[in-house]
Chain A
C-alpha cells in the first residue's frame, strides 16, 4: 500500500472548477496583481481568523519579514524565537537585519514561555513564537512576558491556519500573524503565497505599502522603498476556491491524528513512541503529525520501504545549521537541550485529508511491526 505525503495530484484531480474560475479571471479583466479576487479572499480570511485586516503576500516567509518591518525591527535588533522550526522563521529575522535569540521548546515542540525572561536583552524588539506543526504555542503565558517587557508578539502561524486557543484564532494574540498558503499547507495555492493578519490599522497600512514597492497613491508616488511581495491574483483565486473546505480539511486531519494518538498512546508503543502532550483548550490543526520515536532513522527507512512517506521535520535544528554556525558573532540562546534531543527522534507521519482510514491503519500496523522486529 502507498501512503504518500503529498496529496496535490488528488486535491486537484478535477481541476475544472478552479480552471473555470481562473479562465474568468484571466480573460475577463486584465489584472493579475491585486484586483477584486484578492480583496474578496482577504476579506474572507480576515473574517475566518476574526482579525480586522488580512493582506495577501508572496509567501509565509515574506509575511514574517513584513510584520517585523512594520514593527520597526531592523539592524542589530534581537527577536526571541525558537530553533525548533523551519529555517524561514529565522530567515525572516535575518532578512530585516536583525538577529534571533533562541529559546528552548516544550514537549509539544512550541516555545517554552519559562525561558523567555532569560532571553530578554536591551536589544530585544519582538517575540516570535511558532505554532509549529499546527500546534498553537502557549500564547497566554507568552503574552504575560511580552507585556511585562512591552515587546510586540509576531506569530509564525505558517503551519497553523485554523488553529485556535480557547476559541481565539492563532495570529490574533499579538501585533500580527503570518500564514503560508504554500502548496503543502492546509489551505493552499498553486505556488508560493502568504497572508498577514492584524487588528492594527497602522500595521495594515505599512504592510500595504511595503508589499507593493511603497506605492501609496496610484503608481507614481512613493514615500518609502518597499518590496514586490504581492499575492498573485490567480493564487488568490485558487485559495479562495479551497476556502470553504478549510474546516473539512482540518477536521479530517484531526480525525487521523486522534486515531494515531489512540494507537501510539497504547501500551504496545510505551517507551517506543512518545506523543507530545495534547491540550484540551487548543485546536491543533495537524499540518504535521509529529511524535518522538526510538530508533527513528531505522523506523523512517522501514516505513519508506513499505511505501509510507514518513518524513523528519527536521533532523538539524536551526541553531546547528551552517547558516547559524557561520555567524561571526554567535546568535544568543538559552539552553536548547530539549530542542536538540527532539531533533534526534522526531518523525512525521502522513496525516493529510486525502488519506483514508485504511491507510492510517496501515501506518500504525507498520510502526508496530517495526518495533516487534
Chain B
C-alpha cells in the first residue's frame, strides 16, 4: 500500500470548483487587492474570532510585517524557539532585530518556565510557535508578556483552526501570522499568508506596509514592500475556508487513531500529552521514536512516506552563526530533533492507510 505524505493533486481533483473560482476572477479582471481580498479577510477574521485579517504574500511575510507593524527593528530583541521552520527566526533577522531563543517542552512548543529568564530590557515581543498545529501554552506566555509589557505575535503558520478553551489560534496573542502555502491545511496554489488582529491602528499600518506604504494611488506615507495576497489566491482561500472544519476533523481523527495505535509502544514511540482544553489541528503528526533512521527506512520500503520537521534546529544552522548559540544550548529541542518523525496525516488519506501505517510501525518494533 502507498501512503503518500502529501497529495495536493487530489485536493484540486476533488475541488474542480477551484478553476471556476479562478475563471471568475479573470472575468472581473482585477488581480491586485479588491473585493475578493476583502471578503476573504472578513471571513478569515470571523473564523478566528478576530476583528481584522490582512492578506499578505506569505507566512514568512506575515511574521515579518507583524514585527514591522509593532515597530520592531534594530536594537530590539524578540523571543522565540529553535525548533521551528527557519522563517520564524529569519523574519526577526530581516526586521533587523535579534532573535533570543528558548527551549521547548514535551509538546514541542515554547516552555513558559524558561521564558522569564530570556526576557530583558530590549525584548519587544514573543513569537510562540504553534508547531504541528498544537497551540503553545499561551496562558503562561501571556502572563509573562503582560508582566513585562511586551507583545505576542503568534506563529500560527501550521495552526489554522486550533484553539485553547474555545479561543482560536490567531486570537490568542496581539497578532497571529498564518501561512496559506500549498502544503498547509488551508492552502492556495502558491505562496500566501494572512495576519489576524483586533487593533485597528495596527491593521491600518499593515495595510500600508504590505502595499508600498501607499495611502492611495499617489501618496506614500512610508517606504515599504510589495507583500500583497494575490486576488486570485484570496478567492481560492475564501472558497477553501469552508472546508477547513472538515479537514481539521479528519486530520484530528487520524491523529487519534495513531495515538491509540501507539498506546502500548512506549518508550519506542511517544507523543505529547493530549490536553482536553486544547483543540489541536494536526498539520503534522509528530512522534518521538527510538531507532528513527531505521524506522523511516523500514516505512519507506513499505510505501509509507515520512518527513522530519525539522532535523536541524535553527540555532545549529549555518545561518545562525552570528547569534552565538552552540550545540547543547537547547537540550530538549536538540534531543527531539534526533527523535522526531512526522507520519502522514492529511485529509486525502483513508482510515485503512492510517491502520496500515500503525501496523507497519508495530511490526518494526516487534
Which residues from chain A sit less than 8 Å from chain B, CB to CB?
Answer: 6, 8-9, 12, 15, 19, 22-23, 26-30, 32-33, 58-62, 65, 87-88, 90-91, 94-95, 97, 182-183, 189-192, 213-214, 220-228, 230, 232-235, 312, 314-316, 318, 321-323, 326
14 pairs of residues in contact across A and B, judged by CB atoms under 8 Å:
A23-B19, A30-B6, A62-B225, A88-B212, A94-B223, A97-B96, A182-B32, A221-B317, A226-B90, A228-B58, A228-B59, A232-B230, A322-B220, A323-B213
Of B22, B217, B231, which is in contact with the most chain A CB atoms at under 10 Å from its CB?
B22
The answer on a CB contact under 8 Å between B226 and A321 is no
Instruction: State how many residues of chain B have any CB contact under 8 Å with chain A.
Output: 60
The answer on a CB contact under 8 Å between A192 and B32 is yes
A223 nearest in chain B by CB position: B318
Top 3 closest A-B pairs, CB basis?
A191-B230, A232-B190, A9-B29
In the bound complex, what is the Cα–Cα distance between A234 and B221 (angstroms)? 32
In the bound complex, what is the Cα–Cα distance between A30 and B181 (angstroms)? 12
* Extra pairs beyond A192-B57, A315-B218, A326-B222 (13, CB < 8 Å): A9-B29, A23-B19, A32-B8, A59-B226, A88-B212, A190-B230, A191-B31, A221-B318, A225-B94, A227-B94, A228-B58, A234-B190, A314-B217
Report if B297 contacts A (CB, 8 A): no
Q: Mark B296-312, 1 if CB is under 8 A from A, else 0.
A: 00000000000010111
The answer on a CB contact under 8 Å between B222 and A32 is no
Residues of A within 8 A of B310 (CB): 220
Residues of A within 8 A of B318 (CB): 221-224
In the bound complex, what is the Cα–Cα distance between A278 and B22 (angstroms)? 41
Report if B158 contacts A (CB, 8 A): no
Which residues from chain B sit less than 8 Å from chain A, CB to CB?
Answer: 6-9, 12-13, 18-19, 22-23, 25-32, 57-61, 86-87, 89-90, 93-94, 96, 181-182, 189-191, 212-214, 217-226, 228, 230-233, 308, 310-312, 317-319
Q: Would A228 and B61 be within 8 Å (CB), given that A316-B219, A323-B221 are in contact?
A: yes
Q: Measured between C-beta atoms, what is the minimum distance from B339 to chain A in Å? A: 16
Q: Would A27 and B190 be within 8 Å (CB), given that A22-B19, A221-B312 are in contact?
A: no
Residues of A within 8 A of B28 (CB): 9
The answer on a CB contact under 8 Å between A316 and B218 is yes
Contact of B12 among A27, A220, A221 (CB under 8 A): A27
Q: Measured between C-beta atoms, what is the minimum distance from A329 to chain B in Å? A: 14
The answer on a CB contact under 8 Å between A323 and B223 is yes
Q: Measured between C-beta atoms, what is the minimum distance from B178 to chain A in Å? A: 14
Q: Measured between C-beta atoms, what is the minimum distance from B267 to chain A in Å? A: 26
Q: Would A91 and B212 be within 8 Å (CB), given that A8-B29, A228-B87 are in contact?
A: yes
The answer on a CB contact under 8 Å between B57 and A321 is no
Q: Would A91 and B213 be within 8 Å (CB), given that A30-B6, A220-B310 are in contact?
A: yes
Residues of A within 8 A of B221 (CB): 322-323
Q: Measured between C-beta atoms, what is the minimum distance from B94 to chain A in Å? A: 7
Contact of A87 among B30, B212, B317 (CB under 8 A): B212
Residues of B within 8 A of A189 (CB): 31
Residues of A within 8 A of B8 (CB): 30, 32
B182 nearest in chain A by CB position: A32
Contact of A227 among B60, B219, B224 (CB under 8 A): B60
Q: Would A222 and B219 be within 8 Å (CB), given that A27-B12, A95-B225, A191-B32 are in contact?
A: no
Q: Would A224 and B213 be within 8 Å (CB), given that A19-B22, A87-B220, A95-B225 are in contact?
A: no
The answer on a CB contact under 8 Å between A190 and B31 is yes
The answer on a CB contact under 8 Å between A91 and B225 is yes
Residues of B within 8 A of A214 (CB): 86, 90, 319
In the bound complex, what is the Cα–Cα distance between A242 and B96 (angstroms)? 39
Q: Measured between C-beta atoms, what is the minimum distance from B358 to chain A in Å? A: 25
B6 nearest in chain A by CB position: A30
In the bound complex, what is the Cα–Cα distance between A224 and B93 (angstroms)? 11
Q: Would A228 and B60 be within 8 Å (CB), given that A97-B96, A233-B190, A234-B190 are in contact?
A: yes
Residues of B within 8 A of A220 (CB): 308, 310-312
In the bound complex, what is the Cα–Cα distance between A225 and B57 (angstroms)? 18
B20 nearest in chain A by CB position: A19
Residues of B within 8 A of A30 (CB): 6-9, 182
In the bound complex, what is the Cα–Cα distance between A95 and B86 (angstroms)? 21
Contact of A230 among B86, B191, B233, B312 (CB under 8 A): B191
Q: Measured between C-beta atoms, what is the minimum distance from B164 to chain A in Å? A: 28
A219 nearest in chain B by CB position: B310
Residues of A within 8 A of B90 (CB): 213-214, 225-227
In the bound complex, what is the Cα–Cα distance between A191 and B37 (angstroms)? 12
B64 nearest in chain A by CB position: A227
Residues of A within 8 A of B182 (CB): 30, 32-33
In the bound complex, what is the Cα–Cα distance between A234 and B225 (angstroms)? 22
Of B59, B213, B311, which is in contact with the most chain A CB atoms at under 10 Å from its CB?
B213
In the bound complex, what is the Cα–Cα distance between A59 and B57 (angstroms)? 10
In the bound complex, what is the Cα–Cα distance between A355 and B289 (angstroms)? 65
Residues of B within 8 A of A28 (CB): 9
The answer on a CB contact under 8 Å between B23 and A19 is yes
In the bound complex, what is the Cα–Cα distance between A189 and B189 (angstroms)? 14
Contact of A26 among B18, B57, B220 (CB under 8 A): B18
B13 nearest in chain A by CB position: A27
